[in-house]
Amino acid sequence: MDEIGFDLPGTETEGVLRLHHRSDGFGAFPTNAGSNALTVGLRRRF
């Protein structure tokens, strides 16, 4: 999983871009079971 955060100045909010990878678990699941998800979101610090 890789993540990049972009702090928004003067706020407690951060923009986030994340690449999440799921593999086949070294053969524990079928070979075509791996996947990638690219997500975008906002993170609020408290």
pTM of the model: 0.60
Q: What is the DSSP letter of 13?
A: E
Return the bridge partners of 19, or none. 2, 38
Helices (H), the chain: none
pLDDT tens-digit profile, the chain (46 residues)? 789 999 988 899 999 999 988 777 666 766 666 778 899 999 998 8
